[in-house]
Structure 1
């Protein structure tokens, strides 16, 4: 299976397991800058050179060798399940993507037909009941993850722990796992453990939020989207994320973690 979703600087200074909707665009640009002294011109997900990616066949043996020998610091970044799944809804379901189309072609029409959601019209800009539509989307997310119907789960709303686990299961080990919610402190620790070609001043790094502006703005506080049934579904889908990465399941309004991540526990529970 190898190391899907893994990026590595061309200098092999650091290895990153990408987790969608967890600051991956900003992290990729920081990695690119640390090697080349400039940012990639465009969405870092489109870069096909000057950054090793598992999706590039020529990078796979280089990444495999490095990760198996643990030659470089390896890290990933995680996010509160409540805000992550909301972000997925507004970006991927309600939003128009970079190519000017809806995400995954017929996915949104399927959701409108089978789950009765609304997405703000053809351009995503019309007013609609965001709370009702999101809760119906969450039923769809549960169905894809629990029953793999009406489709397999998508990387943007499948559990963070599932992404993190593949790296461990295939022979990798993380040196750092940090929170999107405390990004600068976590990324600073990664950079402090890394010899970079160009120094990175995190205070000067812009946030590369490539999904921003795709969809409608969230009109309500996070907690308003989650009633008792929604929270039950969230626990069913994301209980490992809440537990391993120390997020507050009982209070959707609290996006911050409640304790430190135990790397040994993560490796033990996700490495089976």
Structure 2
């Protein structure tokens, strides 16, 4: 299986296991800058050179050799499951993608037909009942993860622990797992542990939020989207994420972690 979702700088200064919807655009751009002294012009997910990605056949052996020998500092980044699934909904379900189309072609029409979801459109200013539609989307997300119906779960809403575990199961070891909510603090730890060709001032780099601006803005506080049933569904999907990455299940309004990630626990529980 190898190391899907793994990126590595060309200099092999650092290795990153991508977790979708967890600042991956910013992290990828920082990695690119650390080697080249400039940011990639465009969405870093579209970069076909300048860094190693598991998706490139030419990078796979280099990544495998590096990760299995633990030659470089390896890290990943996590996010509160409540805000992550909300972000997936607004970006992937409601938003128009950077190619000008809806995400995954027939996905949104399927959701409208089978789950009664509304998503609005740029023409109507994305005017729809966000809370009702999001809660119906949660049922769909749970169905994809629990029963793989009506489709396989998508990487943007499948559990973080699932993404993170493949790296461990196939022979990798994390040196650091940090929080999107404490991005500069966590990313600084990574940079402090790596020799990079170009230094980076995290306080002054732009934020690369590629999903912003092509869909509706969230109209309500996070906690308004989650009633008792929604919280139950979120826990069913993301129980391991809450437990391993120390987020507050009881209060959807608290996006901050309530503890530090225990790397030994993560390796033990996700390495089976």
TM-score (norm 1): 0.99
Q: CA deviation at 1:214?
A: 1.8
Kindly provide the CA deviation profile for residues 212-267 of structure 1, in whole angstroms up to 9, marking residues without a partner as x.
01210000000000000000000000000000000000000000000010000000
Aligned pairs for 1:184-263 within 5 A: 184-263=184-263
Q: Please say if residues 13 and 72 of structure 1, whose CA atoms lie closer than 8 Å, have aligned partners that are also in contact.
A: yes
CA distance in 2, matches of 1:262, 1:146: 27
Q: Partner of 1:84 in structure 2?
A: 84
Report the Cα distance in structure 1 between the residues aligned to 2:87 and 2:124, rounded to whole angstroms.
14
Offset at 1:127? 1.1
| Count of residues in correspondence between the two structures | 272
Contact 1:125 1:215 in 2 (8 A): no
| Correspondence list, 1:34-45, <5 A | 34-45=34-45
Give the Cα–Cα distance (whole angstroms) in 2 for the partners of residues 124 and 80 of structure 1: 31
Match of 1:119 in 2: 119
- The residue correspondences of 1:5-154 to structure 2 (distance < 5 A) are 5-121=5-121, 123=123, 125-154=125-154
| 8 A Cα contact 1:13 1:194, kept in partner | yes
Deviates more, 1:224-233 or 1:124-133: 124-133
Counterpart contact for 1:9–1:32, Cα < 8 Å: yes
Q: Deviations over 1:13-35 (max 9, x none)?
A: 00000000000000000000000
Query: 2-side partners of 1:172 and 1:41: how far apart?
Result: 30
Q: How far apart, in 1, do the equivalents of 2:108 and 2:207 lie?
A: 28
- How far apart, CA to CA, are the structure 1 residues paired with 2:127 and 2:48? 39
Query: What CA deviation, in whole Å up to 9, does each residue of 1:182-225 have, x standing for no partner?
Result: 00000000000000000111011110000001210000000000
The whole-number CA distance in structure 1 between the counterparts of 2:56 and 2:256 is 35
Provide the secondary structure at the position in 1 that maps to 2:77: strand
Measured after TM superposition, the shift of residue 11 of structure 1 is: 0.1
TM-score scaled by length of structure 2: 0.99
SS in structure 1 of the partner of residue 75 of structure 2: strand
Q: How large is the Cα RMSD of the aligned pairs?
A: 0.8
Extract structure 1 runs of 4+ deviating beyond 3 A.
Answer: 121-124
